[in-house]
Chain A
Amino acid sequence: MAAPIAANTHERESSMASLKAVSSVAPLALRIVAECPVSKARACTLTLPHSTVSTPVFMPVGTQGTMKGITADQLEDLDCHICLGNTYHLGMRPGPELIEKAKGLHGFMNWKRNLLTDSGGFQMVSLVELSEVTEEGVTFRSPYDGKEILLTPEQSITIQNSLGSDIMMQLDDVVSSTVKGPRVEEAMHRSVRWLDRCMAANKNPDRQNLFAIIQGGLDAKLRKACLDEMTKRDVPGFAIGGLSGGEEKDDFWKMVTLSTDHLPREKPRYLMGVGYALDLVVCVALGCDMFDCVFPTRTARFGSALVPWGSLQLKQKQYAKDLQPIDPDCQCPTCRRHSRAYLHALFKSDTAAMHHITIHNISYQLTLMRSVRQSIIEKRFPEFVKAFMKRMFSSSEQYPSWAVEALQSVNITVN
């Protein structure tokens, strides 16, 4: 566990200066604002080419260069500073050439703040049945024209260079987190080799950060080996990959905490594909800074609104006459104007109902992370976690045991 640091301005500035010396070329600076004296949680400011991001941060996913019916202005109004685009989808449609002509993905979607793009590899393995991984790259059949396409680490970076994202992800060899045996080891070693190829291929190291992705499945030895190898490289940040794919939560949190134990303190840690409120709070306690997940926006389109005590299925009849806002304490544009009953009614006739809930859900995620951050800065993160758990579950018997154990491992006792 890292020692807490003083958070006065003077010291912050000097620590940033020393950081710049560590990775002088990367267009990224991480300033640790506060560290929880009890757990591994930390609050940082992450300066990226397009704006500064306060962490811990949740990054909404805008797969195809748009945030599910929400305009860029609305997303800005929610104080979102970084969101995701998917390289696989954007590489297919409209294609990297067109996006480059449009001055990158920022220009194409007219988003002035930061963007993170994935490598495209994960989608290929999960969405496309016919994919084959070789040392060269991932071969798959295009779902649009049936042609065989080979995505190499170099090509992934070339596309991401065209997209112009502030943070790019290396192409990694993804295996399902439930797979065991030699394939996991092979994938881990290959991911290390592919990281080197990605780093060599990055044409814009002065403008675009390339993050490594820690692999190794659920095998602690392999994870540790991957961490040892990858942390030798001077990358601006690290992602924890290969998790949140249906593995046991007991395995999941142990891999997360193992990773943060060995990742350098001065670089951002991004836990991929994690976005349930409970997982966010626990993994912040385990020392992660950045998160992304399609869940909050996807679930909104099915009428599910996230609240501190779980979620409301607004299409259900019980809300037809419920004239309260989704969450009376929420300050989002939806809750300030609309009732559960109206959203229930609107769901029967117009897509705007989805937009209202998407706005609320993104606001919920971002507000949760802001509260987490504030509690870390004010040195009351453990109390925050306890209050969060109390609100989310009706009794402490309902607390998932993995979460209790994970929090206990960083000295936060919730029951």
Chain B
Amino acid sequence: MRSVMKLELSRVVQGCRLGVLNGLGKTGQHCLEVPGCLLYTRCATVPHLTQDTLLTLSDLPSVTQVTVESLAEHQEVLEECKEGVRKFAGLHNTVLFCSLHDSVNPNPAGHVTNKTVSVWGSGGRIELTAARFMAIQAAIQPDCYQSMADGETWQANSSRKRVRKAVDRTLAHLDECLMLHQKTQELKQAEIFGVVEGGDIMEERLRSTRETAKRPVGGFVLDGFHSAAMNQDVRGQLIQAITAELPHEKPRLILGVGCPDQVISCAEAGVDLFESFFPFQVTERGCALNFNYTINPDPETAGTSSPTVLELNGETPAVTEPSKNGDENMTTFEINLKDKRYQDDFRPLEEGCDCYCCQKHTRAYVHHLLVTNELLAGVLLMLHNMAHYLGFFRALREAIVNDRLQDFKNRVLSCRERDVSFK
């Protein structure tokens, strides 16, 4: 019997879909609230974290994301292990979603053919036919996985012809994956997600969407929308047009979008699920998420007190003048703990945060770990950033429940204006 994954929507506000994805996992006992995110991993490990440190995080997403990219080179041992990557990696009791690429790593262009896509492991390029792709899925044994796709057409200069070809190839891959899926014992209870391609060309996006929706897929992956790919307006229009064509009861996962403001606009365009590579990227540049997403629970007073960001932690935002250590990719949602100003700052990374790092350690300590290149810096920042990011999604859902989406949006976006007002 096919699994019973089903998205039950409770309300839709400003385009945002609030609901629960039920019936996840082999026995169908897991569920995931939407809008929500998957737990990001590399080689099936949340970066920097061991099981002990990971489990200090409360309310972990019930779905963990693994990638073909990081696991393809381990296909043989996964096959010998016989019980999939969950057992191989000693993962906790979690649902697994397998996608093709790691959104953090750039994928060199020019390696896609009619019959193959390529991923890059530690030993170099691995070329995948649909058959090899499916054999790897059978070794990984995910609960849900993204079908093979030609996702190379996000570049601004992709020609119409190239985009059309990508849509055609992706549909052909989907048909082959679906055919092989039926024959694969290890994937009997797994769901396959069809991939919507089409670059920034509306008619190709629509064609890809409609054709994919005709196939027996469990959900949809929106590919080629990552942050650098296109401007926010174009993206919003494309996503809205896509989601309008998709069946309501199936989940939509977007790849490559992680920044909080973009998450909100994608959710408003009808996206349900996101990755969580963003807190990892923030961690890697030595930064800590500290944007405010709490809205006053009483709407009466919310209008009267409009606290500025300055009041949040009683400090000037660190982003106005990026320090020498500053990373050019740093966003306004984070503070740079390498900055000397945190040297003797004995407050937690974020007041009120209940993560292990904030409960136990100070900014001064994390600053010290960063300047001395100590490995614990990555551990502590990853814990805090993931906790903060999960909290952001929780708050987004609560805002939808309480009809406070606009307040929530204003609050989160006020962080974006920090750097404008302080220039």
B residues within 8 A CB of A89?
A: 372
Expressed in whole angstroms, the minimum distance between the Cβ of A317 and any Cβ of chain B is 11
| B43 in complex: contacting residue of A66, A72, A323, A346, CB < 8 Å | A346
| Most chain B Cβ neighbours within 10 Å, of A68, A70, A320, A350 | A350
- Judged by a CB distance under 8 angstroms, whether B94 is at the interface is no
Known contacts A333-B50, A334-B50, A337-B90; can you find 7 more A-B pairs with CB under 8 A? A70-B376, A71-B379, A94-B368, A101-B346, A102-B346, A342-B90, A349-B43
CB nearest neighbor in A for B102: A349
The residues of A that contact B56 with a CB separation of less than 8 Å are: 73
Q: Which of A26-34, A242-250, A258-266, A351-359 contacts B (4 or more CB under 8 A)?
A: A351-359
Q: Which of A68, A98, A352 has the most CB of B within 10 A?
A: A352
Q: Tell me the bound Cα distance from A282 to B327 in angstroms.
A: 51
- Asked whether A333 and B365 contact (CB < 8 A) given A71-B376, A342-B89, A350-B45, the answer is no
Take A74-B53, A94-B343, A98-B344 as given contacts and tell me if A321 and B43 are in contact as well, using a CB distance cutoff of 8 Å: no
Is residue A110 contacting chain B, with contact meaning CB distance below 8 A? Answer: yes
Binary contact track B39-57/A, C-beta < 8 Å → 1, others 0? 0001101111111110010
Partner of B50, one of A65, A68, A101, A359: A359
Measured CA separation A356–B360 after assembly (Å): 21
Q: Contacts of A98 on B, CB cut-off 8 Å?
A: 343-344, 364
A325-352 with Cβ < 8 A to chain B:
333-334, 337-339, 341-342, 345-346, 348-352
Whether A356 and B42, one on each chain, are in contact in the complex, defined by CB atoms closer than 8 angstroms, is: no
- Interface hits, A215-264 → B, CB 8 Å: none
User: Given A73, A345, A350, A356, which contacts B47 in the complex, CB threshold below 8 Å?
Assistant: A350
Output the least CB separation between B382 and chain A (Å). 10
In the bound complex, residues from chain B placing their C-beta under 8 Å from that of A359 are 50
10 pairs from A and B in contact (CB 8 Å cutoff): A66-B375, A68-B374, A98-B364, A323-B81, A349-B70, A350-B42, A350-B43, A352-B45, A352-B49, A355-B48
- Asked whether B365 lies within 8 Å of A109 as measured between CB atoms, the reply is yes
Interface centre among A101, A333, A349, A356 (most CB of B within 10 A): A349
B226 interfacial by beta-carbon distance below 8 Å: no
Residue of B43, B364, B372, B380 touching A345 (CB-CB under 8 A): B43
Contact present for A321 and B77 (CB under 8 Å): yes
**A57-81 at interface with B (beta carbon < 8 Å):** 64-74, 77
Chain A residues near B47: list those with CB within 8 A: 350-352
Contacts of A183 in B (CB 8 A): none
The 8 closest A-B pairs by CB, nearest first: A69-B375, A337-B90, A348-B122, A349-B43, A66-B376, A64-B372, A321-B77, A338-B90
Residues of B participating in the A interface, judged by any CB pair closer than 8 Å: 42-43, 45-53, 56, 70, 73-74, 76-77, 80-81, 88-90, 121-122, 343-344, 346, 356, 360-362, 364-365, 368-369, 371-372, 374-376, 378-380
Q: From known contacts A64-B372, A64-B374, infer whether A323 and B343 are also in contact, taking CB-CB under 8 Å.
A: no
A302 at the interface (CB under 8 A from B): no
Whether a CB of chain B sits under 8 angstroms from the CB of A93 is: yes
Decide if A352 touches B48 in the complex (CB within 8 Å).
Answer: yes
Point out the residues of chain B lying under 8 angstroms from A321, CB to CB: 76-77, 80
Enumerate chain B residues within 8 angstroms of A276, measured Cβ to Cβ: none
B372: chain A residues within 8 A (beta carbon): 64, 89, 93
Contacts of A70 in B (CB 8 A): 376
Q: Is there contact, CB below 8 Å, between A101 and B344? A: yes
Q: Is the CB of B379 within 8 A of A355?
A: yes
Count of residues in A whose CB is under 8 Å from the partner chain:
42
Q: Which of B46, B121, B344, B375 contacts A68 (CB 8 A)?
A: B375
CA of A65 to CA of B343 in the docked complex: distance in angstroms? 15
Q: Are B50 and A355 in contact (CB under 8 A)?
A: yes
Which residues of chain A from 349 to 371 have a CB within 8 Å of any chain B CB? 349-352, 354-356, 359
Q: Contact check, A64 vs B45: say whether CB atoms are below 8 A apart.
A: no
A384 interfacial contact with B, CB 8 Å: no
A399 on the B face (CB < 8 A)? no
Using Cβ atoms and an 8 Å threshold, which residues of chain A touch B360? 71-73, 110
| B346 lies within 8 A of A333 (CB) | no
A72-121 with Cβ < 8 A to chain B = 72-74, 77, 89, 93-94, 98, 101-102, 108-110
Q: Do the beta carbons of A108 and B70 come within 8 Å of each other?
A: no
B42 in contact with A349 (CB, 8 Å) = yes
What's the minimum C-beta distance from A341 to chain B, rounded to whole angstroms? 5
Distance of A345 Cα from B361 Cα, bound (Å): 31
Q: A93-B368, A342-B88, A348-B43 are in contact. Are A77 and B52 (CB under 8 A)?
A: yes
Complexed CA–CA distance, A77 and B55 (Å): 14
Contacts of B371 in A (CB 8 A): 93
Task: Please state if A352 and B343 are interface contacts (CB–CB under 8 Å).
Answer: no
Nearest CB of chain A from residue B277's CB, rounded to whole Å? 13
Chain A residues near B42: list those with CB within 8 A.
349-350
A337 adjacent to B51 (CB under 8 Å): yes
**Using Cβ atoms and an 8 Å threshold, which residues of chain A touch B90?**
337-339, 342
Residues on A with C-beta less than 8 A from B121 are: 348
Of B48, B74, B364, the contact of A94 (CB 8 Å cutoff): B364
B55 to chain A, nearest CB (A): 11
Say yes or no: A69 contacts B344, CB within 8 Å.
no
Shortest distance between the CB of A4 and any CB in chain B (Å): 41
User: Which residues from B are CB-within-8-Å of A71?
Assistant: 52-53, 356, 360, 376, 379-380
- The reply to whether B50 and A102 form a contact with Cβ atoms under 8 Å apart is no
Asked if residues B346 and A339 are in contact (CB atoms below 8 Å), the reply is: no
Nearest Cβ in chain B — how far from A14, in angstroms? Answer: 41
Query: Is B376 a contact of A69 with CB atoms below 8 Å?
Result: yes
Chain B's closest residue to A325 (CB) is B90
Roughly how many angstroms separate A341 CA and B74 CA in the complex, as a whole number?
Answer: 9
Q: Contact: A102 with B362, CB < 8 Å?
A: yes
Q: Is the CB of A323 within 8 A of B80?
A: yes
CA distance A109 to B378 in the complex (A): 15
Question: When A337-B90, A345-B74 are in contact, do A351 and B375 touch as well, CB less than 8 Å?
Answer: yes
Evaluate contact between B374 and A66: CB separation under 8 angstroms: yes
CA distance A39 to B76 in the complex (A): 52
A320 touches B77 (CB 8 A): yes
A339 CB, min distance to chain B CBs, angstroms: 7
> Inside 8 A of B45's CB, which chain A residues have their CB?
346, 349-350, 352
Instruction: Quote the shortest CB–CB distance from B406 to chain A (angstroms).
Output: 40
